[in-house]
Amino acid sequence: MIIEELTLKNFKSHKNSKIDFNEGITVILGQNGAGKSTLLEAIRFALFKKVDGNIQDMVRKPVDAQDDVSTMMVKLKFKHNHIQYEIERIKKRSSSSSTIRRLSCDKTVQITNGEKQVTEEIEKIIGVDKNSFLNAVYIRQGEITSLIDKTASDRKELISKLLNLDNLEKSWKNMINIIKEYENKIELNDRLLANKEDLLKKEKENTESTVKITEELQTDEKLKEELTNTLKELEKEVESLNQKKEKYEKNRVQIESLNKTIDETKIQLNKEETLLKTIEAKEAENKSIEKEILKLPLFKDFVEIKDKYDDKRAKLVETEQDISRINALNETLKNTKSDYEKSIEYSEKLEALNERQNLLKKDIEELNRLESSLTTINSQKGDLFDKLEQKAKAARNILNNPNLRNPEEISTEYTKQLGEKEKQQESLNNEIKECQLKISSNNTIITNTQKSLRDLKNTTDKCPICQSDISHEKHESLVEEYNNTIQECEDSNKKINENIQEKNNRLKLITDKISEIRTIEANSMIDDYNKFRNFLKEIKEINAKIESLKDKKEVYDSNEKNIEKLNENIKSLETNKQSYLTTEATLKELKSIDELESNKNSLTDEINGLKIKLKEINQKVKIPDDIKASIRYLEEKEKIYNENVGFISNKENTNNKIKEMNNKLTKENNNLDNINRENRELSYDSKIHEKTHKEYTCTDKKCVEIEKKLVENKTKKEALEKEKSDIQENIKELEKLENEQVALNDYIKLLNNIREMYGKDGVQRDLREKSKPQIELETNNIFNDFNFDYDNIKLDENYEITITKSDEILNVSMLSGGEKIVVALALRLAIAKVISKQKNELLILDEPTVHLDEERKLELIEILRDTDIAPQMLIVTHDSELIGITENIIEIRKKDGVSTYVQRE
């Protein structure tokens, strides 16, 4: 497989990235957290939808409310066996989709879609499962060194994991739980089978109870039939008595109702006869009242006209008073008019002056503000000057230059000296780091040599590596060589430490000087200096504005005196002005003199007409002194008269009611006689009825009881039959369990055999032994390509590594750091080839130089640069030293939480 193009949208920290990949080596460079390893995660996600953690965590987090992250997409184009493919996986908030297509020059063909289907199609195309593929192409951080630095048992475990043998180990461990489940099932079945004897006993008891209940049911059915026949005869007799009773009771109710109706009719008849007598008395009373009430209309007309006459007289007096008042008000208006006009004239002048003062007032307020601001700025200017002088003096002393005149010169000198000191500091730090790296390298050599020395001391005239015989002189020579190597490294470390101490002393002096220089607030001094110059400019501008406003202040004061004089004049005229205004307003509300004179004449004519009407009524009837009392008396009489008329109007209706009631009494008495005769003919006896009903109730109760007993026994019988069915079903189930127990025991034996086969000494060992020669062969082939001066690499059954050189067998602890990394890389690449069945075109290395000392790192870089390991190799790293191994550099950078890439040439 060759990766050609990767497109990311909202995947982790990548918002919208499209990256092209070439064959050969491509270095993906970036700082920690920049998003470079995200590219590897995206490739795994596209191929197999495999992620570390939750898929939702792969969706980029929005940077603000407008940032749309509703759709996450990864698209991967790759080539396999000269055929181009494209995979696209999309995740939205509520849905997801996966598609794989075959690409050609003229068309695109969709192969399949669906998450599981796409993954299965990829495994078909590459010819291996996803775990084997990832183990073959993807070399994780620290994985190369782990193959050498780990113990033999840990190395064996790591290689087994890479070969996917750990899945067999997991199966071996997990199968014990499956076997345990079946053993628990057998144990449960044994407990259930223990109940079989009890079930057989219950089945026998159930049969006996069923026979007994059946006999009782037959006896009760016969008794029920006898009682039912007796009950039917009694029911007919009771029904006949009930009908007689119903008729008797109905007649009794009618008799009571008729008696009540007759009594009520007699009472009502008596009331109507009394009412008729009252009506006749009121007819006589109305004849005497009728003569008196004839005078009432004339009395009422007299009172009405007299009220109108008095009202018109009052209005005439009021009109004459209004005429006199208007004449007096006109005189007042004439006397106050001159003072009113003067007051208006003074008010207009005052208003004009106030308008001019309002215009001048803004200028006066501005003048006061400017004078206050000038005082404040002068104070701030003095404080700022003192502050600047103090900072400048301190800066000249620190920079050791008394000739610096202003903040600009101080800032220039500050930048110059700080830059020089920081360059010196950086140079010393780099020199110290180089010394520390040399010490680290020496310490590694010391540790490895000391281990080899200890191994040598534990043997006598034997090689500690291959256990072959060596001479005593060779033994002593190796001891001396190892001791000399250790001594040389320790002496070198001592000199380097002394050099580091001297450089640290110089570094401290420079660091202290940098700290002292940084106490100078150069930018702050320039800001304060500019602020001081702005204060001078602002003071000059304020003084010019104050000078231009002084003339307006004099005009404003003169106007204030004139306003005061006008206010005094207006105040002296205020009384007559208000009198004029009040009089004028009052006259506007009153009617005119002409209108009032016209009203006066009209009222006089109306009064004379009313006098004539009063005189005419006096001539028709004598008017009493207290006429209103007479009217009230006559109105009461009229009221009585009218009430009597309404009462008398009911006379004919009352006569008709009396006639109807007499007819009704005759009819109801006839009905009463007929009903009494019918009751005598019924010959109903309530005692006989009660006795027959009791006998019927008793028989019915016995029927209910026997029916209830029958239902209970039938229910018991049904329950017994159901219980018998359940018991028989349970017995059948237990018989099935007995057969199942035999099958379960056989199946557990089979599972134990399979589990034993999946164990470390079964298929795992066979696969390791089968893979070991292939891995060993491929390791030697790759190792030989690296052109190292060694003959052969061997792996024993526990994956212990030995190297042959000129017939001398060495273990990896005796190799240099660079040689170890070469062996580890060759072994890891060999494992990848075995896993991929020689189809390995792609290799991905994630941070291959991490945890490597300088020697191992340089050796690995040289191998990667000079050896054709795979047609395409992707290296993810933050180590800039790897840039030199290829021209294909993809640099990943992160800004504001979003990763982008830069194609470097």
811 contacts 465 by C-beta, under 8 angstroms: yes
706 contacts 224 by C-beta, under 8 angstroms: yes
DSSP letter for each residue of 264-332: HHHHHHHHHHHHHHHHHHHHHHHHHHHHHGGGHHHHHHHHHHHHHHHHHHHHHHHHHHHHHHHHHHHHH
Q: Which residues contact 820 (CB under 8 A, 6 or more apart)?
A: 145, 148, 812, 856
Q: Which CATH superfamily is domain 2-127+839-904 in?
A: P-loop containing nucleotide triphosphate hydrolases (3.40.50.300)
Q: C-alpha angle with apex 609: 607 to 613, nearest 5 degrees?
A: 115
- Interatomic CA distance for residues 145 and 161, integer angstroms: 16
pLDDT at 902: 77
- Interatomic CA distance for residues 580 and 569, integer angstroms: 17
Tell me whether the CATH fold assigned to 2-127+839-904 matches the one assigned to 407-524: no
486 contacts 450 by C-beta, under 8 angstroms: yes
Inter-axis angle of helices 472-518 and 407-457, nearest 10: 160
**Which two tokens mark 59?**
């969706």
Q: Which residues contact 268 (CB under 8 A, 6 or more apart)?
A: 661
Q: C-alpha angle with apex 560: 555 to 565, nearest 5 degrees?
A: 130
H or E element in which residue 752 lies:
helix 686-758
Strand 842-846 and strand 138-139: pairing? parallel
For 295, other C-beta atoms within 10 Å of its C-beta total: 17
Sign of the alpha-carbon torsion through 748, 749, 754, 757:
positive
- Interatomic CA distance for residues 681 and 673, integer angstroms: 13
The full set of domain ranges for the chain reads 2-127+839-904, 178-194+689-758, 407-524
86 contacts 108 by C-beta, under 8 angstroms: yes
pLDDT mean values, one per 10 residues, the chain (905 residues): 92 90 88 86 90 84 86 93 91 90 85 91 83 74 67 63 62 75 79 76 82 82 82 79 79 83 84 81 78 76 81 82 79 80 82 81 80 84 81 82 81 84 89 88 85 76 57 78 88 91 89 84 81 83 80 78 83 81 79 81 84 80 80 80 79 83 84 80 77 83 83 84 81 78 80 69 63 72 68 73 76 68 72 67 80 71 73 84 82 88 69
**Which two tokens mark 754?**
């399979």
- Interatomic CA distance for residues 587 and 328, integer angstroms: 11
pLDDT at 82: 86
Q: What string of H, E and C letters represents the secondary structure of 847-858?
A: CCCCCCCHHHHH
3-state secondary structure of 84: strand
pLDDT at 734: 76
CATH domain 407-524 topology: Helix Hairpins (1.10.287)
664-676 confidence digits (pLDDT tens): 888 888 888 888 8
- Interatomic CA distance for residues 808 and 236, integer angstroms: 129
256-310 confidence digits (pLDDT tens): 888 888 888 888 888 888 887 888 787 787 777 777 777 778 777 877 888 888 8
**Which two tokens mark 300?**
């009422």
- Interatomic CA distance for residues 813 and 454, integer angstroms: 12
